[in-house]
Amino acid sequence: MNNLQSDTSLFQRLRFILVETSHPGNIGSVARAMKTMGFGELVLVRPRIAGPSRNHEAIALASGALDVLEGARIVETIDAALEGCNFAVAVTARLREFSPPVLTPRVLSAQLATDTSLHAALVFGNERYGLPNDAVEKCNVLANIPTNPDYASLNLAQAVQVLAYECRQAALEGALPVQTGIGFQGEAASLAQIDGMYAHLEQALVAIDFLDPKSPKKLMPRLRRLFSRTGLETEEVNILRGMASQILIRFKKAED
């Protein structure tokens, strides 16, 4: 099996997700951008046009990448689009107050190519409105393309092309191992596991009156930002959920 077909190759581990895309031509152009760089997994979240794989404009702009276009999965939620991934990247030009850590495409692609345990997704928003905050909150990092500050306007397919190119170069050239200095590294927690942990932790914090559910403000977004910098492993998520469980058990006993 050659490098491009290996199960651990970035070409097999990377998924491209488009959220609420408005123009069918952009979907076709994205399929073309992906295929030229050797990637094939495309997921569409609530596209605003019906049957994009049959749309004449999408087909025309796919320009030979019909296999990617026709193979695109259509789902209703970002959670469904991220199913099976343990690392997600929000690609956006707009920085958020409580955004995850921000990386350039080059640094990001090196990380994705180096860590073969990552089954990653690059998440792109609507052409006009970008990514909603709830989608960004589910991502581990934010990718920001360094453009001309006087004219930072990139078409959706252009943004996909930049990320796909950088990921291809990192995958083919081989990135240097990232020195974490923490010794043994376990299995990266899935995004579903991490979401479950946040819900469990929030329940525990409400129980001990540390978090007011009627006025949650910015505590949970800050905690998401904190943990997104750590690269949570499955065992670490289990530890945090165990702590939350004990808090809830003790709180219930105190009430009784």
CATH code linked to domain 3-173: 3.40.1280.10
The values of phi and psi at residue 130, to 5°, are 75, -155
pLDDT for 201 beyond 70: yes
| CATH architecture assigned to 191-255 | Orthogonal Bundle (1.10)
> Could you tell me whether strands 42-45 and 14-19 are parallel, antiparallel, or unpaired per DSSP bridges?
parallel
What is the percent of the chain with per-residue pLDDT over 70, rounded to a whole number?
86
Do 162 and 118 form a contact (C-beta atoms < 8 A)?
no
Q: What average pLDDT does range 186-209 have in this prediction?
A: 78
- Locate the domains of the chain by residue range: 3-173, 191-255
pTM of the model: 0.74
List pLDDT tens digits, range 63-89.
999 999 999 999 999 999 999 999 999
Q: Which of 35-39, 125-129, 177-181, 206-210 has the lowest mean pLDDT?
A: 177-181
Q: Which of 4-13, 96-105, 136-145, 173-182 has the lowest mean pLDDT?
A: 173-182
Q: Which residues pair with 141 in a beta bridge?
A: 89
pLDDT on residue 3: 39
